[in-house]
A and B are shown apart, each in its own frame.
Chain A
Amino acid sequence: EAEVAQSPRYKITEKSQAVAFWCDPISGHATLYWYRQILGQGPELLVQFQDESVVDDSQLPKDRFSAERLKGVDSTLKIQPAELGDSAMYLCASSLGPRDLRANVLTFGAGSRLTVL
């Protein structure tokens, strides 16, 4: 069964350091999402890509977070500098393009757990 791959699974860093997360979506999925999930809460969208273009980054803290999907396939989410409040699970998801009838079903990866000390 096709999966969304994420790495690293776990990351511990000190505040003010830079961190990066990588995601490889399911092959053929044009839409890629980065969500943040704080412990005990539901996931919250940070950024959505359609192919290589950003279609929604309204909740992305742009002073410290950046995301790219240069070739429209895999994606990187970066945080610089990390703050204590960034400790969370960072989830990547993908779905088929908007013209597909099942476009709205998101498949999630296992996530990257970030702890900022």
Chain B
Amino acid sequence: EDQVTQSPEALRLQEGESSSLNCSYTVSGLRGLFWYRQDPGKGPEFLFTLYSAGEEKEKERLKATLTKKESFLHITAPKPEDSATYLCAVQARYGGATNKLIFGTGTLLAVQP
């Protein structure tokens, strides 16, 4: 069964204190791994898609990496506005037209000034 596990469940950082969020996955065949950011009461906002092991993508203070079993979201010198829930999701190589994403439970990040 395809599954996504994120850790830690919650993380509190001081402004400027770098850290990493983990996403481990099992999937029959990976089509893509996604990172989304979700602010309270809002829908998820797309950040990155990674397609193959060794791939890395960056956006401002965020950098996502991918191995065959897990992905990391590195946050460098975070600011309070980076506070949000970060969701990881995988898309499997199913037959047919389905593109559904299987999500983890997320990591709630709080960055204190």
Residues of A that sit less than 8 Å from B by CB: 4, 31, 33, 40-45, 48, 50, 55-56, 91, 93, 95, 98, 103-111, 113
Contacts and interface: CB of A to CB of B under 8 A. Distances in A.
Interface string B73-113: 00000000000000101010000111111011110000000
Nearest to B99: A104
Contacts of B100: 33, 45, 48, 56
Contacts of B42: 110-111
B43 interface: yes
B105 A41 contact: yes
Contacts of B97: 31, 50, 55, 98
A109 B45 CA distance: 9
Contact of B101 (A50, A106, A113): A106
B31 interface: yes
Nearest to A44: B103
7 contacts: A31-B99, A41-B106, A45-B101, A91-B43, A91-B44, A109-B43, A113-B41
A55 B36 CA distance: 24
